[in-house]
Structure 1
Amino acid sequence: MNDTYLIIILFGSFLGLMIMGAPISVSLGVAALSSIIYLDENPIKLVQVAFTSVGSFPLMALPAFVLAGALMEAAGISKRLVLLAESFAGPVTGGIGAATVLACMFFGAISGSGPATTAAVGMLMIPAMVKRGYDKGYASALTASAGGLGIIIPPSIPMVIFGISAIGMSVPREAIELHGEFQTVSISKMFIAGVFPGLVISCSLLILNYIRCRRLGYKGTEEGWSARHILHAIRSGVWSILAPLVILGGIYSGFFTPTESAIVAIFYTLFVGVFIYRELTWKKIVDSLETTTWLTGRILMILFTATVFGRVLVENQIPAVVAESMLNLTDNLYLIWAMIILFLLFVGMFMETLAAIMILTPVLLPVTYSLGIDPIHFGIVMICTLSIGFATPPLGENLFVASGISNISLERVTSQALPFAFVSTVAVFVIAYVPEITLFLPHFFGY
């Protein structure tokens, strides 16, 4: 009975505050504090747990990756990547739309953020698509949907957060007896595992883009491919192409850790922006630092409170209760995956991705581990599913960004984005049901 009251207090106060419009960090913090007071524990514990949550070495990658992404946009690196993708569009039906998806993949490999990817690519590609005769709503919807690749293509901020959330995970004793002691999730392994799932979702968007463009009559350029144009784009963007190669190559080769790679990315961008492209001014650097400070502070506030919320869940065995309840419904792996994916799709419509990861990882990871699902596989599926929430209402951050860039109504963008959300969901089911897509590269590299 006490556990029932605790669950009502914890989730009731959280949902009540969310409905009243309170910020998610406030909702999480108040819910956790209410539960600690109900349990008659010292409230100072909340502060201690919150500060301990930011003491991990991997978390240092968070502000570094945010700063690297902001600097790359200011230095002109992201602009050249987008122009390079556009040069390959040529006469292919829907080619400029396909170039938008590719540009989001390129930028996702250096930003790690969905809205940042949508903003950086959308500023260039939405006007370019409209100039080629594309409907503004379609151009905006495609960019918003492809912007979700920013958190799937490594390096990814949500992957870092998932790795931190899995630390000290409590799993049922029966699961340990069946599958062995739970191992801490490696962020490097998460980065490697995200490559093929990112390509699967990208291919689903490219296929639907081709089908819809063919039906709508959005053709490519009449003059065909221009070798001169492509070579010019490659020459001007060669240093931009090297950016994701340096970051990912160093991680995959084991030359440096994900945290160290973020620092390498910052110095690489400073060198290219100041000495090669000469577009990175002191004002742009200061603006990038301001953006980093604001975004990192916002994320850390959620991290503080979500960590305490998760600690209350784990210490009171609530994840074990949820796991047992789900396993009592069915032990069919495919049905469990379907329930988890549909639940995450629903959560992603109303909650920020990082907060959802921090709250739900302690709840859902024990369930999947009890079924023998690799924690890395679950983490990738979770992030892929939540990425769809960037382009689904009512939260849909990418929809707001794309709508603002194209200056059209949110409803117009949303209606065009729903088919892309559907094919992305189908792709997520494929990734979940075929674990080799996620785990092939980690096994290949010996993780």
Structure 2
Amino acid sequence: MSTNPKVVLAYSGGLDTSVILKWLQDNYQAEVITFTADIGQGEELEPARQKAIQLGIKPENIFIDDLREEFVRDFVFPMFRCNTLYEGEYLLGTSIARPLIAKRQIEIARQTAAQSVAHGATGKGNDQVRFELGYYALEPNIKVIAPWREWDLLSREKLLAYAEQAGIPIEMKHKQGGAPYSMDANLLHISYEGRHLEDPKAQAEAEMWRWTVAPEQAPEQPCYLELEYEQGDPIALNGQRLTPAQMLAALNQIGGEHGVGRLDLVENRYVGMKSRGCYETPGGTILLKGHRGIESITLDREVAHLKDDLMARYATLIYNGYWWSPERRALQVLIDHTQQNVNGWVRLKLYKGNVTVVARDSKNSLFDQTIATFDDDGGAYNQADAGGFIKLNALRMRIAENTRRRRAS
């Protein structure tokens, strides 16, 4: 029986995490357990299993888990109930995946009696914070190993030299200078960072985008689709009931075909620096517009405004890695309570990168046509009442102005 310490590594099968795997074996004499999450990144994951075996990992220590439904159902949809945007634009595609990966990693550590977990996030980025806050929140005494903060392999040349010496297969693209961008993908989005994008003056290259056509090249005819909502979550697309993962995948395809969901953003990282990234989130962009559309007729005014006030705080918690914090959980209870009557359907128009709500209806609608009409409402609303309402709300401003005039005279 092995007495070496066990480490559960978040493992993609790429160059960086393969080097980390070998480095853990060399420097910690660790029995490494690899965990690869399928959250809809669209890549074949079996090569990760084969590469792990090639690097000496026992088959029983290799975990490849399909987490797509859990990802959308328990992380993406709850986030969208709050209409969440970080810094007014970012739909948090990378941020929202990290707490799920951390959760499953800790579950595997418990299952295998591992004392440690490890990740491949660098010491400059947000992901190290997100992973580790998740680890500690779920397993307070876990040991965390972050190789990028420990080793001296801080250049691509050193990384490649270590890989070659260790017999780790190196793909041709890495030998030729590496991938043009650092990319991260899941069912919600694909992100691009680094290289050409590190200069915020440089426009993103047209060939970079993978999921969406350029809006200028999108179809000349608009696309109409209908989303049905139940307690704030989309349950059917054009009359067909879909699982959460199926829903997001379908909307990604439709949105991508119509140029929906591109974003070029300079954001403020939690660690203190500004970072430029580009994102494609076609399905998420549609979901956000649709959700706000159904809420517009089903939410009380003050509840809707309170949600908007809380949204920025909620978004920052997710961006900074506090998904498992008590404050995020408390906010989620409030948000979910507001969604009890968010039921109905929304019709959306997609056209050359834009998404527009064109119709909506709900059995819980608070829209009263007899009151809202510009025509005679039969006495449902007494317009004369507005005069007193306005005077009462103007009282403090009238007092302030009269006081200013007395002092000035």
Structure-2-length-normalised TM-score: 0.34
Whichever structure has more strand as a proportion of its residues is 2
* Structure of greater Rg: 2
Higher helix share: 1
